[in-house]
């Protein structure tokens, strides 16, 4: 098995289709299929589940995919270091940002890298945290900003700041002119929140249960723009990052939850299986600098 075959296999998994992967790789579909079959024969296990709707990896195939992504990233980094020099701030760096964090960090990050490191090609992935964790595990990202505070196997976790959560919308709850609202007043208020597997949802559920409050979730919505739109209409609220309500043009009421406050640690997470090059370190330093300078956006900032 060689790097070329690993690239073929990873592309098939990424596209979910042998025909689409063949087009992307500029080879014929029969040749690609033959390469995959050869890998399955070599390893002695099926790597793909084939159906009329496409292909998806088996459990052994998913394990191979994760290793393949790590190897391919190391290979590309090796080529870049040799061609550009190990200490050159150039090349592609992939960063994952949750949507609430991207609203504050993404544009400043792009602008600063354009000025300070014009040879760095930034790739930004904006999504829910769960998908970003999957991309990190699969070797698709060089780093991601995630809501966690503890070390995780395979990741170096560097705390950035504590994010205070706010009640968004529902101006009829408490004092709409106040910058905060007691959590007790949110008991029974209709809310839209992310699905039950989401970390934010779990934090909210645990806090409401601990305080003996009624959590009235009227819809599970794994889309930040949709939750904001619903909360903006005023009749149903949501509990989200306070920074979202403070963005220019947000047009939504956001009040920090207090008594007790709801907050979560935001950290910069970097896979430790692949050595970081100069470009990756430059992006990490830039993210940390933006966080320090935008402290007021989150109220409480950790030392970075």
Structural domains counted in the chain: 3
Angle at the Cα of 100 from the Cα atoms of 94 and 101, rounded to 5 degrees:
45
Task: Note whether residue 76 is domain-resident.
Answer: no
Task: Note whether residue 278 is domain-resident.
Answer: yes
User: DSSP string covering the chain, please?
Assistant: --HHHHHHHHHHHHHT-HHHHHHHHTS-HHHHHHHHHHHHHHHTS--EEEETTEEEE-HHHHHHHHHHHHHHHHHHHHHHHHHH-TT---EEEEEEEEHHHHHHHHHHHHHHHHHH-TTEEEEEEEE-HHHHHHHHHTT--SEEEES--S-BTTEEEEEEEEEEEEEES-TTSS-TTSSEEEGGGGTT-EEEE--TTSHHHHHHHHHHHHHT---EEEEE---HHHHHHHHHTSSSBEEEEHHHHTSTT----EEEEETTT-EEEEEEEEESSS---HHHHHHHHHHHHHHHHTHHHHEEE---
181 and 213 share a domain? yes
Note whether 165 and 241 are within 8 A (CB). yes
Six-digit token pair at 169? Answer: 């919308």
94 and 181 share a domain? no
157 and 271 share a domain? yes
- Residue 51: strand pairing partners: 54
Task: Note whether residue 78 is domain-resident.
Answer: no
181 and 294 share a domain? no
Would you state the pLDDT for residue 205?
Answer: 96
Helix axes 59-84, 29-43, angle to 10 degrees: 110
Would you state the pLDDT for residue 152?
Answer: 74
133 and 281 share a domain? yes
Write down which residue in 23, 47, 71 finishes a domain: 71
176 and 200 share a domain? yes
Q: Using one digit for the tens of pLDDT, what is the confidence trace for 135-154?
A: 887 778 899 999 887 777 78
Chain position carrying tokens 């701030």: 89
Residue ranges making up the domain that contains 140: 86-161+265-301
Task: Note whether residue 297 is domain-resident.
Answer: yes
Query: Which stretches of the chain drop beneath a pLDDT of 50?
Result: 296, 300-304
154 and 290 share a domain? yes
Helix axes 99-116, 278-293, angle to 10 degrees: 120
Which candidate, 188, 200, 211, places its Cα nearest to that of 239? 200
274 and 144 share a domain? yes
255 and 175 share a domain? yes
156 and 234 share a domain? no
CATH number at residue 102: 3.40.190.10
151 and 277 share a domain? yes
- pTM of the complete model beyond 0.95: no
Task: Note whether residue 220 is domain-resident.
Answer: yes
96 and 145 share a domain? yes
């Amino acid at each position: 098995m060689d790097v070329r075959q690993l690239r073929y296999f990873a592309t098939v998994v990424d596209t979910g289709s042998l025909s689409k992967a063949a087009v992307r790789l500029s080879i014929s579909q029969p040749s690609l299929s033959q390469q995959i079959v050869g890998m399955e024969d070599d390893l002695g296990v099926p790597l793909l589940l084939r159906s009329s709707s496409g292909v998806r990896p088996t459990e052994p195939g998913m394990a191979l995919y994760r290793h393949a992504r790590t190897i391919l990233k190391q290979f590309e980094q090796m080529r870049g270091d040799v061609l550009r020099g190990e200490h050159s701030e150039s090349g592609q760096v992939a960063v994952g940002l949750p949507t609430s964090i991207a609203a504050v960090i993404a544009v400043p990050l792009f602008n600063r890298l354009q000025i300070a490191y014009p040879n760095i090609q930034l790739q930004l992935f904006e999504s829910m945290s769960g998908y970003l964790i999957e991309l990190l595990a699969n070797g698709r990202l060089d780093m991601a900003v995630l809501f966690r505070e503890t070390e995780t196997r395979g990741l170096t976790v560097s705390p950035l700041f504590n994010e205070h959560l706010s009640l968004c919308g529902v101006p009829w709850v408490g004092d709409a002119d106040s910058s905060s609202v007691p959590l007790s007043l949110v008991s029974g208020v209709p809310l839209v929140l992310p699905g039950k597997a989401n970390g934010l949802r779990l934090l909210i559920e645990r806090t409401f249960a601990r305080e003996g409050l009624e959590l009235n979730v009227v819809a599970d919505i794994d889309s930040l723009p949709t939750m904001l739109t619903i909360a903006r209409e005023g009749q149903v609220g949501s509990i989200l990052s306070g920074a979202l309500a403070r963005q220019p043009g947000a047009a939504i009421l956001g009040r920090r939850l207090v008594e007790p406050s709801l907050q979560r640690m935001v950290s910069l997470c970097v896979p430790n299986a692949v050595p970081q090059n100069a470009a990756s370190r430059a992006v990490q330093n830039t993210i940390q600098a933006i966080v320090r300078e935008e402290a007021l956006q989150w109220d409480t900032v950790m030392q970075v």
